[in-house]
Structure 1
Amino acid sequence: MKPAAKPQYPKSYQTLTLLWVVIIAMQWIDFTEPLWFSVTTTLVTVTIIMMALVEWLLPVPAGWKWTIKIFVLLTVWRFILTSYGVYVPFGPFFPDQIRGMALTFTPYIWFSLIAWLLLEAVLRLVVTRPRILAFLAVHLVAFAILDSFTHYYLWQNVAWIVFAGLGWLVSAHFYEYRRKYPQGWHRLRQSPIKIAVNIGIVFACVLLIGISMPSVSPTLTDPYTAWIKRSGGGGGGPSALSGVLGEGPAAVQEEIVSGYSRDDTTLGDGFEFSYSPVMSIDTPVRSYWRGETRRLYSGKGWADLEEEGRDTERYRGAPNEDPLEHEQPGKVETMRVEQTVTMNTDKEYPVLFGGYAIESAELLDDRQQPDMRWAGKQAELFWNGYRNPGDLPDYPRKYKVVANIPLIPLEKLEQASYETIYSEGAPEEYLQLPNNLPQRVKDLAEEITAEGETPYAKMDLLQQYLRQNYEYTNKPDLTRKRSDDFVDSFLFEIRQGYCDYYSTAMVVMARSLGVPARWVKGYAPGSQPSDEMMMRSPELGRAYNVSNADAHSWAELYFGDYGWIPFEATPGFVSPIMEAPEESDEAFAMDTDTNTEVAAAEESFFSKLDPVVMQRIFVSAVSVLLLWTLYQLRSELYFLWLRLRLGRPLTPGEKTIYETLRLVRRLRRKGLARSDQETLREAFGRWKRERPQLAEVLDPLLLLYEQASYGRSPAASDWRAAREMTRKAVKLAGGNGLRQALPVGGKRFLDR
């Protein structure tokens, strides 16, 4: 028995299905936007939109369509990840850039690839009404659970899913009705405005009822919350940082998670990201939240504070104390910035966090006799000293820091020679290296920076090399390790890691080239609530929210009169440098929207796209989709306009005549013109002689036209057949309009 042929869905139904699926997909992207890196959100959004546009716009065979989609996807990956600074092109395209992209595109491309595959699966599997209902039910249940058991307010997302689901079901219903009852469908299409108005009223009522429902507190406690309360827990499990910060000698490390580390003497273990909140910072300038620095590299990690030592002075806090003193570079101006820090965790830290460099700190919560220690040389503000990090009582919950952010004249620094920068000599204490540091580390540093003519140019080459040639992962493969030196094993054996690997390698290699450097740890800037989140929850404010996943380390390099300048060797970050203005009174921040270990270059186009802009892109794409749909339905719209103008529907005969004469106008652009003296039969006969392939459609079309003009009135199916014939005739006519329009000499030239 011959298998049943796969149904061919009309273009209008495919277009509407694509629209509903994309709308539903956008609701998941909206939900994950606060959880994902901004580069991931942008990448997934653009992937879905571009794949949907290719699926809709290109009427090509499946093989060609898949090839085009893969090419478009690769282009999207390179363009967006390059725009966000995740990947910086370096060297020839093959093999350097190919290798660099392979190392830095992960894991972002997996999110994009999975989103594309899910889109393709839904379009091909969710095709019947029961499957559509099941698909919508799963989404509604999922969003209901997320809305109930998380802090997210997802009612708008549910409303959009209901809207798209209703539209999808209506589209499927009309498709089935058209397929099973063609005569009834034809009669139904006689009143399109009435049908559209009724559907619109139903949609509007459903959405208005949902949106207008008042917010009512629940009268019953859900089972999960009741169980948590009964068990006396908070639902959070063990402390996310119990193994990192420690809570006394009896602290048990159940797992290694991200956070501010107390022990840096041995680096390199893998960890899990912890997104538990740490602090929120209200500031007009985005920066890294600096904690402590380290100077002595042992080959395994960094020496602790007791071994390094600190010269500190007691500080009681502003406004009673004088401003904190530190070495101010002679060629650098500063910008005074106030930063209010609110701690969102009960953990205690050895330092107060702030931007570089702190001028003063003022406690804003109820506290007596604040006791802080200021290490001016390292620009660190310790809480209650630093020699007993396990005993830091009464850590402040809220404080204000005033920071003097350096404005670096990068153009001058890039041209400054080694003799100019270190005219009084480089500080030896920041050039320390272990005696057993492998020589190949120094050789590699010299090879990488050989083309740099100044210290800054060399350090920039070194930074780019580390960013482009090593894979970022929070779980490096330590089975590759052979060398006893941490940096050596990273550069030549493991060749993957996270911020501690990159920053330590940057410091050690810089020192091997005679550039003083120190290792810094603290937090990346975190993330601000999006405009849409602000609309949902205005109480969030514009503060930067920092979690344990934002714990970070980086390198600071010393350039004499230009001071300490941060360098960011970890892929996805850009150094938070404030550049001094050349001809303007304002400075701009070379900073990025970093989140955890990923950042987006702020000067790029896509990094400026907040969710509102992304919504506009989506609306624009939907508008293009709508315009293309209207273009495809131009015949029906023309017939509707004539019906309104004449006060009656057009007969099938009148529609057949219109489609035939419309074909005559379209074929003129293909080089097949009809003279004023020719009848339609004569013109068709001449066209068939010039292009024999048109005979199969022009003959039956002419018959229908003459029947409509002079004989019996065609049936409704006849004029639809005439429309299909006209479309096929346009395709068969090909693109020979230029050849037909050229004079004889030009024609012979093209024929050679």
Structure 2
Amino acid sequence: MSGGVQKRDLQRGVLYGLAFILLWEWLRPLNDVTDTGNLGYFVVFILLSITLYYLNINKFLSFSIKLVFIGYSLYHLYADDTFMNPLAAMMADLWENIGLTIGREWSMLSDMYRSLLFFVLLWLMTYLIHYWLSVRKTMLLFYIMTVIYVSLLDTFTSFDAKGAIIRVIILGFLLLGMLALLRLKDQESLRGTTRATGRWMIPLVIMIGFSSVLAFAAPKIDPVWPDPVPYLKAFADDNGGGSGVSRLGYGEDDSKLGGPFLGDPKTVFTADVIREHYWRIESKDIYTGKGWERTGSEETEQAVPFNAGEEVPLDLTPPDPEKEPETEFIDVKEQYSHVVYPYGINTFQGNEEGYFSLSEDTSKITTLEGEEEVKLEEYAIDYTNPVYSLKGLESASAETLPGGSEAFLERYTQLPDTLPERVKELAETITADEENWYRKVTAIEEYFEAENFVYEQFEVPVPEEGQDYVDQFLFDTQMGYCDNYSTAMVVMVRSLGIPARWVKGYTEGEYQRSIDTQYKTYKVTNNNAHSWPEVYFPGEGWVPFEPTVGFTGSSIVNYDYELPESEETAVPPVDQEKPEKDLAPEDEASAGSSSSSFSLKRLWDDTVTFVEENWGKILLAILALAIIAVGVFLVRRRWLPFMLIPYYKFKKDEDAFPKAYVSLLNQLKRYGLKMDDGQTLRSYSRYVDSFFGTREMTSLTDKYERALYGQKLTGHDWKQTRKLWENLIKRTTG
């Protein structure tokens, strides 16, 4: 065997060996991420297949060897020694599983049949590798797929792919570099000596080795964005327990908060109301570090029954006998066995044949007939909208709690022992300059908006094992939805020794229409499900707060301090109510007209705000576009001729052919047929024709030279010349 043949066989052997290792990387993780066993049989099979392709064995013989190996492997893996005829049993199993496959009964396929399919898949993969190496001389697609495969397994499974990623990067670059050298030799018809090959390979190996060591040893920058894996895992782990993806709406299990929510526009009820307000359902008082649980259980809870029209035995706010109750009407669309109610509830109208039951542990009101729960289709409520005294709120403290409140205070300031100390330290820092309970609570309520926390329903990670839900939100992600904000506020308020609890219900809903001058109809959907904190102030009762960014709340605080008489410009006492979220149609129109005027400053501010909030996405989009642009530019040899052909096809001027000829020369250069310095056009045209096996380039060059010396082309000549030019330039796209 000559030295050249030996060298080519060595190069092919190295290429096939590197390809085998890359394919082997696909099998390594299977032991960790699946229940696949006996991987040795599959590894030996891909080694056998690649070796047969390398040795260029007769196709029939190669097919027979692979088939015998597969049968041998399946026999040793699955044949039962008690079978009189294991081959017949295997064939029967195969026939049965083919029927199951046709019937799409995937879960009933036998292990032997699954292994057979895996062998067939590996057979196809080894053939593709042989085709890419011997015919196309490129492995870029397979290399990219391998990198993505290993990276995804490392990200989303327990498989540790650090070593695999290093091997794939180093060996993949080496493989791509060697294939690039082979393609260059083929395009330039180079014979290639050992010395020339060494001049290519030695710098390649040095560059790959140096860059790999440098990348491994260099300091790593911390990630800019939060880890998306818990969020994505939450979508994959939809178990309804609070840790997976859920749909918006009321649910009873809050023991594991976190993860994304999907919107649900299904209507729960419509309400004819006098004013907008939140709708309350229940409260919970035990924070576990992962979510909320209730005191007691449904089996042991103390329930207080009452009938329609009777005073609701719920002590949320002190009664105000000076105010006349107001009546609102609920039309239920998605029926539950509980009712919703506003703050200041007095009585319920409805369920006259049954009764209502109030849970003392959660303040949840259910509807019953005898011992059975019933679902009302409609009911009415009488309530007195509470107005909280600012003077009373600011005078509240632990000293104003009634005697015997130790158990009450212990219940509503409960925190788990595992709560990180920095949560308490943050609450103390926020409220360091405040003197009373109310100012401390409002300071915490305003903290989230002041610190630019983000309201987010989708990209919300799930706390990891051993991680506190509130601690993660306050210090790691700083984004989430109502559960994050309300829970964080309750925990921080409790850490200051102020009684607080977590409440669930609905926001006011979406404005539908005005019934008359007094009543408006609002539609409440599952998207309006909400949670918020309640804080207890002696003398004022349980007061709701709204820390969630983007929500305004519905509580009213009356500024009831006496103003100095000498202050002529003093504003008379008014109700300090937060602005309503929903406007009547005429209000929306007027608001739209006042804000519709164009302003360059507003446009600039909006642009700056958008860039600040989305700079990561913008940077990622620019990077993606740049990568696409670079990729398109690098492969311009393949697509540019299809733009040049129609461009020159309809040109009729005298300069059309000379310009088209120059474009052809540039395209041939991109294809790899470069004109040497000092080489004449005629010599170069013969070189091109010898490469493609035609005489098109010589003919075009002859016409080009005649055109340069003043001989114009006739219409027939230009048509014939254009066809030659199109045929030749199309050859460069292969």
Larger RCO, structure (CA 8 Å, separation 6 or more): 1
**TM-score of the superposed pair, with normalisation by structure 2:** 0.42
- Compare CA radii of gyration and give the structure with the larger one: 2
